Structure 1
Amino acid sequence: MTVDDFRVLTAVELGSRNHEVVPTKLIHQVGGLRSVSATGRCISDLAKLSLISKLRNAKYDGYRLSFSGYDYLALKSMTNRGTVYSVGNIIGVGKESDIYSTSDASGHTKVLKIHRLGRTSFRTVKNNRDYLRNKQTGNWMYLSRLAAEKEHQFMSVLHKNGFYVPTPYDWSRHCILMEWINGLPMRAVKKHRDYKGLYSGLMKFIVQLGNHGLIHCDYNEFNIIIRDEADFGKYESDFVVIDFPQCVSIGHVDAEFYFNRDVEGITTFFAKRFNYRPRDDSSMLDTDGFGEGFRYAKPDFKRDVRRIANLDVEVQASGYSKKKKNEEEEELEGALEGMRNLNVVEEEEEEEESQSEYDESEEESESDDDENERIISAISAGDGNLKMDKFGNYILDE
């Protein structure tokens, strides 16, 4: 792509803040190219690459930015700064994001997370989430940028304060560049040589986070990475926590509910995966941990959370203050609240589907993983049957 191509693409991005379809005249004015014909050539080239698109039956001549175009703009800024040199394969597809492997000029492997607020996950395609209705594509791109900025802010503050999170390297628009962790998501771990110690460490993390003013709100086996056994003992912790855009303050009106849900997410996983169901033991005096060998089996919000820092105020987490929010913050909070509520709906559905038989839920999870893997393979292979809807949701035509 030429310099002029990127100027025109940036012009479409800027125009998207106020227009779902950016008028061609405005694109030319903002792009600043010398002639209308030069702008037209760039628009034609960008459209061929599917970086912008024309809306059918629009009332005027214009274009709108595609998710691919937004991706290009973000990657361009990162390559200009030297934080990204090459982009590898897609390694994960989440409810509201895509994850890619990348490297810098020195060959150092990193992780690129691309936020895609407003799209549905594979399991929830059938569920028409209320917060998706009547929303413009451009608006979701903008909210994705705000979510990425917020998560980068969370990660930077937590990393600086010694929490077990990936090192954040860079941020641009809806993309975050972070440390590559050698390990697996906890959901993929079948055995662990010290699962009782892991359980206690995960519970202490929840309390430590709360003591600093924050609650994760999506703390489960999908957002915890267990380091490879070869790296055990090399780091202060053998696990790393990811995915922070939904964090709330311990001053949030529903703080105790979200705290308890995070705790239950861990207890449920360990009961199913390791058949580990610790109980309170009043004969034990040690309260610097949770589970067997400690006084308490799991954390309690009122008993264990004691504020020692104000990270929620520093990052302006949801619920940290009753001050009036601006329109941007209200829209982003509405989207993130939808994500938090989606977590509740999914958990309730999973509980109903697998009342007593964990094997059935394992089969369902594996089926979802298989579908995700097929889509990831199709993306990597450049499968022509793979399409993306206006929310950035991948669809396989079978």
Structure 2
Amino acid sequence: MKLDISYMRYMTADDFKVLQAVEQGSKNHEVVPTTLIHQLSGMRSMSGTNRSISDLAKLKLIAKLRNAKYDGYRLTYNGIDYLALHSMLNRDTVYSIGGSIGVGKESDIYKVSDKNGVEKVMKIHRLGRTSFHTVRNNRDYLKKISKNGVNWMVLSRLAANKEYQFITMLYAKGFNVPEPFDNSRHIIIMELIKGFPMRRLRKHKNLPQLYNNLMKFIVKLGCSGLIHCDFNEFNIMIKDEDEIDPNDPEEVGFVVIDFPQSISIQHKDAEYYFKRDVDCIRRFFKKKLKYEPKDDPSMLDTDGFGEGYRYAYPDFHRDIERTDNLDELVQASGYSKKHPGDRDLEDAMEDMRNTEETDEDHIEKEEEVEGKEESSDGDDYYYSESEEEESDDGYNSQDEENERIIEALSSGVGNLKMDKMGNYILED
């Protein structure tokens, strides 16, 4: 969905009180009764509450649920967008919002500025997005989620909060991640990386050094207690040449993004995910950059990987020795003392981690992305998938209807429409 904040300037303090009341009531109610909204808002008169409710409904910040048994409203994604941005505006971390610079699997990326004109990145988590790329792989999981009645807005908020914890901790520890600035609900504000995704890289002045630095990042992260779980060319930003300090011995020339799926090295599948991260880098360097180092027993240096070192790539059992407890500090998935309250979020993240692409899927995505690059202005800093649509209620659990919608999305069939609630429907 598109971010539309054009009406925010016209909203009153009472409107935001009522909107916050709907959000607060949503913690225990799928549809928040109108009387409860009035009580939680602290408004003096019911007529004032009803007036604000009417205005918010017209702006599609709240909505009624079909066939509800009582008079009430639920929060929409537009509504939670307004609440998050309102909080950030009050904290002066955001002053103006620019255009979209990317669409991820479960997020939207925008360029924003603070009151001093400093450009930053705003990442909006939107778990539950409908895409013909992911519905095909995740259908069994989606049926389970639908039965459990999971609130995707709640999960989006948890995912954003978890990622903010990750990058705040990693940035403080000196890892090459974007500097975090603020977090409200499902939105994160972070540093804008002046560069391009590694998927666009076709030549580099020192490939062995880049390869070595990437592998050492995986090992350093692992020794600190964490595994990225999605460490690939789509989540690595290569800095522009003029952004690299040649006098900084710690400069590696890249920044790693997208951490909500990260797990602890105590996770039962830690070795599998570690190897998958390593294999993603090896595959990209082999296919796109024609660089494939081999183990060299004649070399004694084991402090790096690739050309000039003994080992070509890291091994979980050989190279991971715990030196820090970041997984404990951020309560990463798989850590033995993980909070049980994050069970639904963990189910969502687990499914995202387990969605592996075949070679055909990978080629299809590459061709699609490269096709978009030819028509873009070169200003998108993040991986942009196919144009994805979503509904406020999440996924449709009916398999047959899903199949028809997926076919319509991929083929551009003209009878695909969207109803007033934001759900896809196929007209006969």
TM range (shorter): 0.7 to 0.9
Give the AA of the match of 1:197: Q
> Is the counterpart of residue 363 in structure 1 residue 361 in structure 2?
no
Query: 2:231 is matched with which residue?
Result: 219
Correspondent of 1:57 among 63, 67, 77: 67
Give the AA of the match of 1:277: E
| CA–CA separation in structure 2 for the residues paired with 1:256 and 1:61 | 51
| CA–CA separation in structure 2 for the residues paired with 1:15 and 1:197 | 53
| CA–CA separation in structure 1 for the residues paired with 2:154 and 2:181 | 21
Correspondent of 1:168 among 180, 194, 197: 180
Query: 1:39 is matched with which residue?
Result: 49
Contact 1:65–1:138 (8 Å) recurs in 2: no
Deviations 1:267-307 (A, max 9, x none): 01111111111110111112121111111110000111111
> Is the counterpart of residue 329 in structure 1 residue 329 in structure 2?
no
Distance 1:127 1:309, change over 3 A: closer
| CA–CA separation in structure 1 for the residues paired with 2:232 and 2:75 | 34
Q: For 2:49, what is the secondary structure of its paired residue?
A: helix
Q: TM-score, normalised by structure 2?
A: 0.82
Query: 1:272 is matched with which residue?
Result: 287
> Is the counterpart of residue 299 in structure 1 residue 301 in structure 2?
no
| CA–CA separation in structure 2 for the residues paired with 1:218 and 1:324 | 21
Unaligned runs of 5+ in 2: 1-10, 381-386, 396-408, 415-428
Query: 2:78 is matched with which residue?
Result: 68
| CA–CA separation in structure 1 for the residues paired with 2:105 and 2:147 | 18
Give the AA of the match of 1:265: C
Distance 1:135 1:239, change over 3 A: farther
> Is the counterpart of residue 341 in structure 1 residue 343 in structure 2?
no
| CA–CA separation in structure 2 for the residues paired with 1:57 and 1:44 | 19
Query: 1:390 is matched with which residue?
Result: 392
> Is the counterpart of residue 237 in structure 1 residue 252 in structure 2?
yes
Deviations 1:168-199 (A, max 9, x none): 11111111111111001111222222222111
Contact 2:31–2:73 (8 Å) recurs in 1: yes
What is the Cα deviation at residue 132 of structure 1?
2.7
Give the AA of the match of 1:266: I
Stretch moving more, 57-66 or 105-114: 57-66
Deviations 1:124-171 (A, max 9, x none): 244443333316887211111111111111111111111000011111
Q: For 1:129, what is the secondary structure of its paired residue?
A: helix
| CA–CA separation in structure 1 for the residues paired with 2:104 and 2:275 | 23
| CA–CA separation in structure 2 for the residues paired with 1:121 and 1:250 | 31
> Is the counterpart of residue 144 in structure 1 residue 146 in structure 2?
no
Distance 1:118 1:163, change over 3 A: same
What is the Cα deviation at residue 28 of structure 1?
1.1
Deviations 1:370-389 (A, max 9, x none): 8999xx9xxxxxxxx99641
Correspondent of 1:281 among 296, 299, 310: 296
Contact 1:123–1:368 (8 Å) recurs in 2: no
Q: For 2:66, what is the secondary structure of its paired residue?
A: coil
Unaligned runs of 5+ in 1: 377-384
Q: For 2:354, what is the secondary structure of its paired residue?
A: helix
| CA–CA separation in structure 2 for the residues paired with 1:392 and 1:103 | 30
| CA–CA separation in structure 1 for the residues paired with 2:83 and 2:90 | 11
Highest RCO, 1 vs 2 (Cα 8 Å, sep ≥ 6): 2
| CA–CA separation in structure 2 for the residues paired with 1:228 and 1:285 | 34
Query: 1:382 is matched with which residue?
Result: none
Contact 1:280–1:291 (8 Å) recurs in 2: yes
| CA–CA separation in structure 1 for the residues paired with 2:94 and 2:367 | 38
Contact 1:17–1:138 (8 Å) recurs in 2: no
Query: 2:112 is matched with which residue?
Result: 102
Contact 1:51–1:66 (8 Å) recurs in 2: yes
Deviations 1:176-229 (A, max 9, x none): 111111001111222222222111100000000011111000100111000012
| CA–CA separation in structure 2 for the residues paired with 1:122 and 1:42 | 37
Distance 1:392 1:59, change over 3 A: closer
| CA–CA separation in structure 2 for the residues paired with 1:353 and 1:43 | 45
Give the AA of the match of 2:391: D
| CA–CA separation in structure 2 for the residues paired with 1:397 and 1:23 | 39
Correspondent of 2:264 among 246, 249, 252: 249
Aligned pair count?
Answer: 376
Correspondent of 2:220 among 208, 215, 218: 208
Distance 1:139 1:128, change over 3 A: same
Contact 1:12–1:22 (8 Å) recurs in 2: yes
Query: 1:260 is matched with which residue?
Result: 275
Deviations 1:222-242 (A, max 9, x none): 110000122233562200001
RMSD of aligned residue pairs (Cα, Å): 2.6
